[in-house]
Amino acid sequence: MKRRLIPLLLALCLLMGLSLPPAAAASGPMPLPTPGGTAVQSGGGAEIDYSNTKDGYVMVRFAADSSKRLRVQVKGPATTYTYELPPGKWITYPLSDGNGAYQVTAFQNTSGKKYAVLTSVSFQVALTDEFAPFLRPNQFVDYASAPNTVQKAKDLTANITAPLEKVGAVYNFVVGNLTYDQKLATTVQTGYLPVLDTVLSKKTGICFDYASLMTGMLRSLGIPSKLVVGYAGEAYHAWVSVWTKETGWIDGVIYFDGTSWQRMDPTFASSSNKSAAIMKYIGDGKNYTTKYTY
């Protein structure tokens, strides 16, 4: 199976997409993922807990140490996602395709690029609501392990009540305080995952770090956020979708410039000091093609 999520390219950059249903804003952050134990498929040392599919996630664990590479494939109604599976603990994976039929499979590397199936399970998903997969932490947006990130999000929005103003406060902080790590961009290895509190402390990172930090902050505030991965022109990139009561989902749009909604791309905006040419590019939806949503 070919790793497609984080290619070794300097062009690796991420945008984001958000959403905000009124119920989520009122109720605050969702309960953190936990293995339910009521629906579990085991085999080959791996466990797939699909007890909480209605809440938009599954959890997978390979409890023992392993020197061999482990992966998880989540095949949804429309898209197949391939993830890393670090051994020793439960890892959360989103059911990003929403309602429908899924198959989740755990694999272990045997030699070269060959993998063997450890265990697999198929099930039907009926979400409690469409926002469920985009509220909780997962492998790409692990705010559950980032108390400083969660606190910073609270501090940034302490005196703000309007949801989109909270989004703006988080966006402005990330764009204004992070710098792009050119060295990491050229040396990043397959399987790299952001550690949000580390990114927050160092104030530097690649696009994946920018987007994951911002998404984690927003979800910790109870704001559903889609981290969307695809292409900006020919470069691998990512972005956001925003939901409002008035408009529903607005793909790739994050802030209002007084005239029209503009696409949010924290990396492009930060590294270019919001130059007119870059902001025009960001604002043109034709420049972006979606592949995956987390």
% pLDDT > 70, the chain: 70
> Mean of the pLDDT values across residues 147-174?
88
Weakest mean pLDDT among 37-46, 140-149, 180-189: 180-189
Query: Cα angle at 56 between 54 and 58, to 5 degrees?
Result: 95
The predicted pLDDT at position 166 comes to: 83
Return the SS3 of 97.
coil
Please write the tens of the pLDDT for every residue from 125-155.
999 988 899 899 999 999 999 999 999 999 9
pTM of the model: 0.80
Query: Cα angle at 140 between 136 and 142, to 5 degrees?
Result: 50
Residues in contact with 201: Cβ distance below 8 Å, sequence separation at least 6, in sequence order: 148
Residues in contact with 162: Cβ distance below 8 Å, sequence separation at least 6, in sequence order: none
The predicted pLDDT at position 26 comes to: 38
Q: What is the DSSP letter of 31?
A: P
106/244: higher pLDDT: 106
93: tokens are 């994976």
Return the SS3 of 199.
helix
The predicted pLDDT at position 81 comes to: 96
For residue 284, which phi and psi values (nearest 5 degrees)? Answer: -95, 105
Please write the tens of the pLDDT for every residue from 189-232.
878 888 999 999 999 988 788 888 988 998 898 888 888 777 76
d(CA 67, CA 78): 33
Using the Cα atoms of residue 224, residue 60, residue 36 and residue 50 in order, give the sign of their dihedral: positive
Among 152, 141, 153, 173, residue whose Cα is nearest residue 266: 173
d(CA 266, CA 44): 41
d(CA 230, CA 84): 19
d(CA 217, CA 225): 10
Identity of residue 67: S
Please write the tens of the pLDDT for every residue from 80-125.
999 999 999 999 999 999 999 999 999 999 999 999 999 999 999 9
For residue 202, which phi and psi values (nearest 5 degrees)? Answer: -75, -25
Query: Cα angle at 222 between 124 and 263, to 5 degrees?
Result: 90
